[in-house]
């Protein structure tokens, strides 16, 4: 599949500018986290299509785009970049709003437990490529559960008493769940650049 942008530096530059605008320090490692999450989420939401022509590999510190990592490890690279397409602006803004303000330590913990990263690591070890197919599998939106069918208020007269009691109990339980009175898995779930001139280290 064809990537949406022609260079990973286009997305990297956007994140760096966004951080500078919000006075959020984006270290090279934090940038790696944002790039990986952007690639994984985009693949998951778009049938495995890549956002950028990037190859992420398993490393001891989590997923890394090795070429970008080496290019920015010590200083800002001198590369040309292009504006990202308008069609993905909402997407990259979503990634930024979800992860941009998080501390790098929190992002490190997140990606080290990332299911796509762990699957590639378990199968092939260090330097294994984290494929778009694996990202798609783990980041595809989950299908919403079908709504429970309503239990009729009135029961046929010919139903035996013990079955009527069971159905009545199930109906009461369904009412309690709808009213939020009963704990269920759903309602008990918890909500889960130093090389940029002029930007002082601070929140990343």
Average pLDDT of span 97-118: 97
Contacts of residue 128, defined as CB under 8 A and 6 or more positions apart, other chains included, come to 57, 58, 120, 121
Percent of the chain with pLDDT over 90: 64
φ, ψ for residue 56, nearest 5 deg: -100, 135
pLDDT at residue 33 above 80?
A: yes
> What pTM was computed for the model?
0.71
**What's residue 196's pLDDT?**
41
Q: How far apart are CA 79 and CA 77, in angstroms?
A: 6
pLDDT computed for residue 194 by the predictor? 44
What is the C-alpha separation between 49 and 40, in angstroms, rounded? 10
Q: Helix (H, G, I), strand (E, B), or coil: what is residue 59?
A: strand
State the pLDDT confidence band at 186, using cuts at 50, 70 and 90: very low
Cα separation, 204 vs 188, whole angstroms: 31
Cβ-contact 48, 58 below 8 angstroms = no
Residue 76 CA to residue 88 CA, distance in Å, equals 25
How far is Cα 184 from Cα 169, in angstroms, rounded to an integer?
16
- SS3 at position 64: strand
- What pLDDT was estimated at residue 89? 97
CB-based contact 107:99 (threshold 8 Å): yes
- pLDDT higher at 153 or 201: 153
Contact by Cβ (8 Å): 65, 35:
yes
E strands, the chain, in order: 56-59, 62-65
């Amino acid at each position: 599949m064809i990537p949406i942008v022609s260079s990973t530096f286009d997305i990297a530059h956007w994140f760096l500018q966004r951080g500078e605008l919000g006075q959020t320090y984006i270290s090279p490692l934090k940038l790696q986290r944002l790039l990986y999450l952007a690639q994984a989420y985009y693949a998951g939401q778009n049938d495995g299509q890549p956002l950028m022509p990037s190859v992420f590999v398993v490393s001891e510190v989590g997923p890394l785009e090795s070429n970008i990592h080496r290019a920015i490890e010590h200083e800002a690279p001198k590369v040309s970049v292009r504006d990202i397409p308008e069609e993905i602006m909402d997407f990259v803004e979503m990634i930024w709003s979800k992860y941009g303000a998080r501390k790098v330590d929190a992002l490190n913990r997140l990606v080290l437990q990332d299911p796509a990263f762990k699957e590639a690591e378990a199968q092939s070890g260090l330097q294994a490529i984290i494929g778009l197919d694996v990202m798609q599998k783990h980041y595809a939106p989950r299908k919403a559960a079908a709504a429970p069918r309503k239990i009729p208020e009135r029961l046929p007269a010919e139903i035996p008493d013990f079955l009527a009691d069971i159905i009545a109990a199930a109906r009461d339980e369904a009412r309690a769940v709808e009213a939020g009175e009963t704990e269920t898995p759903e309602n008990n779930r918890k909500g889960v650049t130093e090389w940029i001139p002029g930007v002082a280290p601070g929140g990343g």
